[in-house]
Amino acid sequence: MVVDFFAARIAASFAKRIRREIFCKVESFSMEEMNQFSTASLITRSTNDVTQIQKFVAIGMQVLIKAPIISAMAIEKILVTSKWQWSVLVAGAVLALITVIVAIMVYTIPKYENIQKITDSLNRVTRENLTGLEVIRAYNAEKYQESKFNKVNTELMKNQLKVQSRMAVLHPSMVFVLNGIALGVYWIGAVLISSAGVADQMTLFSDMVVFSSYAVQVIMAFTLLTMVFVMMPRASISAKRINEVLNTSPKMVDGSLKDGMQGQEGTVEVKNVSFAYPGSDKYVIKDINFTANKERP
């Protein structure tokens, strides 16, 4: 309970700091940076993406503290007291789980990136509908907006189903490996006991029973770690999207001077200013010069 409390507190504080950094960064953006990301995408990155990272940090801190405590003693006993055949069995089971997890992550990371982009589109369509509700009703365009929303919503559903169908393989795989370890431990134990002498049979039997409990502890600790592995793909995509915002340098930067020269307070002077739209090689205005004095029309 103590671990869960501090993990949740740290994760919430971390998410608060990220949201503040994104908000302050967006405030410095010009129209070029705003158009680069879009308002809908910035909303998603400030809310949904931050929430994914917060969940990952909270669960990750809990697991990284609990899992080593659960598995440390069991692994020590397995390596020191057990037969090598049993140790190989557990190592093979862990390797099989790692293979399944890596395969799932390789498949789901690109899908999660698509999901976050589609979420941006869903926010954009929803925002357009809410802000332009009066115009939509005036032109009787409700069916068009509903069709537009359903298209994005269906696309999001299909991508989420693809990801969840792959994630659904993880739990049965763990159950299969866990039951396989139990079966393998007793099968190997039966072979060892049948080939041992009468004096060693009781010792091997007790070792087999004890080892089965140790093996279950190791797999349960690894099961906790899989919770982190499951959340890692989406959290990594969210972190990448947030870093794109935080690492963007605004094209328009405020000057460093705060006070005007003596006798020029309130005077604005423009010298040789030109302006072109992003991506255009032609200037809309070029070499503009003027001076606006204080309290003068």
Which tops the pLDDT comparison, 234 or 14? 14
CA distance 187 to 165: 33
Q: Which amino acid is at 5?
A: F
Mean pLDDT, range 165-194, rounded to an integer: 84
Give the rounded percent of residues in the chain with a pLDDT score beyond 70: 93
pLDDT of residue 138: 86
Q: Which amino acid is at 193?
A: I
Please tell me which of 71-80, 200-209, 255-264 the model is most confident about, judged by mean pLDDT: 200-209
Residue 66 burial (CB count, 10 A): 15
- For residue 21, name the pLDDT band (cuts at 50, 70, 90): very high
Q: Are residues 5 and 52 in contact, defined by beta-carbon separation less than 8 angstroms?
A: no
- For residue 150, name the pLDDT band (cuts at 50, 70, 90): very high
124: which residues sit within 8 A by CB, 6+ positions away?
Answer: 38, 39, 40, 41
Q: Are residues 125 and 144 in contact, defined by beta-carbon separation less than 8 angstroms?
A: no
Residue 89 burial (CB count, 10 A): 22
pLDDT of residue 45: 92
193: which residues sit within 8 A by CB, 6+ positions away?
Answer: 201, 204, 205, 208
Q: What are the backbone dihedrals phi and psi of residue 278, each rounded to the nearest 5 degrees, phi first?
A: -55, 130
Compute the mean pLDDT over every residue in the chain, rounded to the nearest whole number.
Answer: 84
pLDDT of residue 261: 64
The SS3 assignment for 82 reads coil
The CA-atom distances, in angstroms, between 290 and each of 12, 107, 255, 268, 273 are 50, 59, 18, 8, 10
pLDDT of residue 239: 93
pLDDT of residue 25: 92
Which tops the pLDDT comparison, 188 or 17? 17
pLDDT of residue 53: 94
State pLDDT tens for residues 249-295: 887 777 676 666 665 666 778 888 888 877 778 888 888 998 887 76
CA distance 39 to 143: 24
CATH of 2-246, one of 1.10.3730.10, 1.20.1560.10, 3.30.365.10, 3.40.190.10: 1.20.1560.10
- For residue 246, name the pLDDT band (cuts at 50, 70, 90): very high
pLDDT of residue 265: 66
Asked if residue 297 has pLDDT above 70, the reply is no
Tokens representing 47 are 């809310």
Mean pLDDT, range 190-202, rounded to an integer: 78
Asked if residue 192 has pLDDT above 90, the reply is no
Q: Which one, of 104, 98, 108, 124, lies nearest residue 44 by Cα?
A: 124
State pLDDT tens for residues 94-121: 888 888 888 888 888 888 889 988 999 9
- For residue 157, name the pLDDT band (cuts at 50, 70, 90): very high
